[in-house]
Structures are given as C-alpha cells and as structure tokens.
Amino acid sequence: MTYYLAKTVDQPFDTVVRDVTERLKRQGFGILTDIDVQATLKAKIGADMDRYRILGACNPRLAHQALQLEDRLGVLLPCNVIVRETADRRVEVASVDPVTAMERTGNVALKPAAEEVRRLLGEAVSQVGT
C-alpha cells in the first residue's frame, strides 16, 4: 500500500503550484502552510536541491469532524501536498494518502472521513495540468 497520491506533469513549476492550490480550494481545502524546502535547506545548511514546496492543506469541515473522533489527530494534520521538480525537469504533485495515515490511529470511526479526504485530494491532484 502506498502512502501518497501523485501525478507528474510537463508544466512550469510556479504554474503547477498555482494550479494545485486552486484545485485544492475547489475541493474545500485552504493552504495553512507553504514551505519552500529548497530555499530553507539552502539558507540553513547550504544544501542545493531541485525546487520543492510543501503545502499544508486543510479542509476545515472534515478536520473538525475528524478531531471530534480523535482529539490528538492534529499530529497528522494538515494534509501535506508536495510540488517538486523531478530529475528530468518535470513537476510532480503528491499528497499524503489520508486513509493510510489515519489507519495508524487504530480508530475505525475515522475511516469515512479519511476516505472523503482521499477522494477530494485525489481529484485535486489528478486534475493538475488539465
């Protein structure tokens, strides 16, 4: 079982970031965090790497529902979505698979919410670049 949902496209990096952000918004997600991993690692340890962003996405309605069932679930929130430049200069968008992540809690009551988040994230990721 994989722990992520992904799609790779042949589009400019910044265009893909804007596209995935808009597609997440259409699915009810907001971006709580936006981490430029490339810039951070360069500044902190002098490391060079390809472009890489981590977007912390949250669907407030589903997050609230899940937190009512599991009060420590915040350790798994928000749902991370990455946009990264690949070695062949394409751009990959990938998100955590929330069903796989929620299974770690052992709380079966979370499964319907996790499946809904997976569906919404999967739609957003699959539509990038179309």
Range of the domain at 109: 4-127
Residue 48 Rama label (left phi>0; alpha psi -120 to 50; beta)? beta
What's the pLDDT at 10? 97
What's the pLDDT at 115? 97
What's the pLDDT at 44? 98
Of 41, 59, 120, 53, the C-alpha closest to 81 is: 53
What's the pLDDT at 1? 63
Q: What is the pLDDT of residues 48-98, one digit of tens each?
A: 999 999 999 999 999 999 999 999 999 999 999 999 999 999 999 999 999
Average pLDDT of every residue of the chain = 97
Mean per-residue pLDDT for 2-23? 97
What's the pLDDT at 53? 98
Q: Give the predicted TM-score (pTM) of the model.
A: 0.94
Mean per-residue pLDDT for 123-127? 97
Tally of structural domains, the chain: 1
Instruction: Look up residue 24 and give its two tokens.
Output: 């997440």
**How far is residue 37's CA from residue 17's CA, in Å, rounded to a whole number?**
14
Give CA angle at 38 (33, 39), nearest 5°: 80
Domain containing residue 10: CATH number: 3.30.310.70
Percent of the chain with pLDDT strictly greater than 70: 99
Burial of 130 (0-12, 13-18, 19+ CB in 10 A): exposed
On whether the CB atoms of residues 8 and 102 are closer than 8 A, the answer is no
